[in-house]
Amino acid sequence: MGKTRKIRKVLKGKPTLEGAGVHLRRVFGFSEVPLFDPFLLLDDFRSDNPDHYLRGFPWHPHRGIETITYVLRGDVEHGDSMGNKGIITSGDVQWMTAGSGIIHQEMPKGDPDGFMWGFQLWANLPASHKMMDPRYRDVKSEQIPELILENKVKIKVISGNVKGQQGPVRDIVTDPEYLDISVPPQAEFVHQTKQGHSVFAYVIEGQGYFCQEKNPFTYEVEGVNYFDIQRDPFVGNGMLVLFDDGDEITVQTNDAPVRFLLISGRPIGEPVAWYGPIVMNTQEELRIAFEEYQEDRFIKYKKHSK
């Protein structure tokens, strides 16, 4: 019997404007460093109002991180300074390693009904890999293995290995796991996790118990009061659970199903110097990055990369 991870913290996403005017929910970000190490930020953008997303994210630089975009509904057009361009659509993932630097744009288009829903996760890179060559992993929905367990739990394996099914995104330095999990009503799901890795679950539909004790917990809320006592131990749509250390998590449901993203990775444990889309280890490295960007010396890798 493994040591079940307990809930360390529960957060609710906060409405945020990003890019050229995209309405999204920032689940965690700058103020939570280093709580989620190696992860830096998670945004949830879902809207049926095109005015809330069509302005998109015009040309901007990235260095020192990876950006992972997972689309559930709608299309996102992308292009970059190396001449890459394409569209990711419902069920697709783009895992982009900015490394030494890339300038790109992402423009959400929505689906035929005007609905757009997706997530962007930022993962940090250690100092040894900050200036690596940029690279892409464009993953189509049909390339993502889906398992159905005995209790009808469904798991899409984007990165990591579940019961011998290896996700298509591999060879990432922080050894990440990225799963899209659906648990039906009146079910239990137990999943092994690596000791010492940061593990969190972000609920995207329904609700469930993420701790065996079913204890009420304290979670961050928007508004005047920073903390509030949540009497009900359910974790619902738009809420995130950060787990303590251990080697497994347990999720249970009552009458409603729950769907969540389960994400984990090996902490880097290095200083974080972060401004906008550039994340380095020192303020001096940040200064150099922005100076290079202003002087058109930012891009180090000129070849077409795919």
**pLDDT for residue 276 is more than 50:** yes
Model confidence pLDDT, tens digit, residues 78-132: 988 888 888 999 999 999 999 999 999 999 999 999 999 999 999 999 999 999 9
Model confidence pLDDT, tens digit, residues 6-63: 999 899 889 999 988 999 999 999 999 999 999 999 999 999 999 999 999 999 999 9
d(CA 68, CA 174): 13
In the prediction, which pLDDT does 223 show? 42
**pLDDT for residue 146 is more than 70:** yes
Model confidence pLDDT, tens digit, residues 208-266: 999 877 776 665 554 434 455 555 678 999 999 999 999 999 999 999 999 999 999 99
In the prediction, which pLDDT does 305 show? 41
Highest mean pLDDT: which range of 217-231, 274-288, 289-303:
274-288
CB of 120 within 8 A of CB of 93? no
d(CA 189, CA 185): 11
- The predicted model scores a pTM of 0.93
In the prediction, which pLDDT does 16 show? 94
Sign of the dihedral defined by the CA atoms of residues 50, 78, 277, 194, in that order: positive
In this prediction, residues 260-274 reach a mean pLDDT of: 98
Helices (H) and strands (E) counted in the chain, each on its own, are 1, 27
In the prediction, which pLDDT does 87 show? 94
Q: Provide the CB-side half-sphere exposure for 69 (13 A, CA).
A: 27
**pLDDT for residue 201 is more than 70:** yes
Give the count of beta carbons closer than 10 Å to the beta carbon of residue 285.
Answer: 17
In the prediction, which pLDDT does 229 show? 54
Tokens read off for 106 = 């992402």
In the prediction, which pLDDT does 301 show? 79
In the prediction, which pLDDT does 218 show? 63
In the prediction, which pLDDT does 227 show? 53
Which residues lie closer than 8 Å to 240 by C-beta, 6 or more apart?
10, 11, 12, 13, 27, 28, 42, 200, 201, 202, 203
Structural domains in the chain, CATH included, are: 7-294 (2.60.120.10)
pLDDT band at 303 (very low <50, low <70, confident <90, very high): low
Which residues lie closer than 8 Å to 73 by C-beta, 6 or more apart?
46, 90, 111, 115, 116, 117, 118
In the prediction, which pLDDT does 213 show? 73
Which residues lie closer than 8 Å to 213 by C-beta, 6 or more apart?
6, 233
In this prediction, residues 177-186 reach a mean pLDDT of: 98
